[in-house]
Amino acid sequence: MKKTEVKTSQRPMIKRMQLTMKRTIEPDLSQFHLLKIIGQGVFGKVRIVQHKRTKRQYALKYIDKSICIKQRAISNIITERTILERIHHYPLLTNLHYAFQDDDTLFFVLDPMLGGDLRFHLEQQLNFPESQVRHYVACIALSLNYIHTRRIVHRDIKPENILLDQNNYAHLSDFNIAIQFDRHQPLAWSRAGTVAYMAPEMLAKKGYSTSVDWWSLGIVAFELLFGVRPFRAKSKEELIHSILCDPLVFPQNVYDVISMDCIDVLTGLLDKSPYQRLGHHNFERFKSHKWFQGLDWDKLEKKQLPSPYPLDKSNKVIQNEFKDDGLVYSTKRMSLPVTVDDLPVTEEARCRLQLEQEFLNFDYYQTEENVKSASFYDRFNKWFN
């Protein structure tokens, strides 16, 4: 057979292809040192890991496929995986760095949040000082503005989904029921999230958009300040009725606990009209409110301001009170993809195939093009949306 000659003009292209191949080694568990466990969820645990090559630490969130299938949560996991890739690296979100899977488990490699979630701290402290709540609210408001400009609605803002880093900055996490609106269909009608934090327009199924996240932030802020939510009831039906119909009522000692400016922010966030709600479609109005007077929003966004209440480094989350689960290193790759001739015959097999095909591997640092693509995506959104 005649030997194929490589033309001189083709050599640069071949070299680029070779470099790309070197950079596209798929991530797997064997590339990380497994360290302490810092959390536990419905589908699995979260532990600190260290990348062997870069020495950087991350949070490894791993999800048991069998449990995911039994809980009928496949679409939620795929949604979270997709949205986390689209929101890039924003300082006040829990960002995705890698995603991969083996036959039994899905893996998310995320920013490490060593301070735990706000629910943990709320149960420990019962409530927070106004200045601390102001700091948390400002952090989450910046996160909401960031995702909303990308037509993404979180739909499940609550203390459990707000994570603290070791410097006590609040980060928005858990995007498994988030949605990204189509430019031509800017409304949704389905209920999603936790009823106690759902906005009236979502409960009424009248169509909603990003406004629901600002309502949820108001509920969270109220709960952090007073240790209780503003709307409470003995049953789900009564709670829905209360959120839809009852006026906002503050505790009797409200003036001893918070300032008038804080009351005004809570009242604005918990306005039952989504069109009048503070933060919705007018983030500059939110930022310029007197409650935030003196706050340097740019430095806050870059996490350059000292937190008003540094975390106690002896708390259980940071010190790790979780039992090890025996997760072991694995260099095992996924089994060979199923072919058309080997179509699955059981519902579980179909679900596993869906996970294999749609939970794609992701490596944020795979090539330098990621950063360029991210900045282009941002510019594209500004130009055409």
Residues 6+ apart with CB under 8 A from 198: 191, 212, 215, 216, 243
Options 1.10.645.10, 1.10.3720.10, 1.10.510.10, 3.30.2270.10; CATH for 118-310 is 1.10.510.10
The per-residue pLDDT for 21 is 43
Parts of the chain belonging to CATH 1.10.510.10:
118-310
- Say which CATH architecture domain 26-113+319-384 belongs to: 2-Layer Sandwich (3.30)
Is residue 208 over pLDDT 80? yes
Mean pLDDT of 161-182: 94
Parts of the chain belonging to CATH 3.30.200.20:
26-113+319-384
The per-residue pLDDT for 18 is 46
CB atoms within 10 A of CB 321: 11
pLDDT tens track for 48-65: 999 999 999 999 999 888
The per-residue pLDDT for 74 is 85
77-170-96-184 Cα dihedral, nearest 10 degrees: 60
pLDDT band of residue 381 (cuts 50, 70, 90) is low
Identify the active-site residue in 28, 111, 156, 174.
156
pLDDT tens track for 308-353: 788 776 655 544 455 555 565 544 554 444 444 455 567 777 777 8
- Answer yes or no: are the C-beta atoms of 324 and 37 closer than 8 Å: yes
The per-residue pLDDT for 211 is 97
Q: Which residues are documented as binding site for ATP? A: 61
Catalytic site residue 156?
Answer: yes
Is residue 14 over pLDDT 60? no
The per-residue pLDDT for 337 is 45
Mean pLDDT of 35-58: 88
Cα distance from N-terminal residue to C-terminal residue, the chain: 56
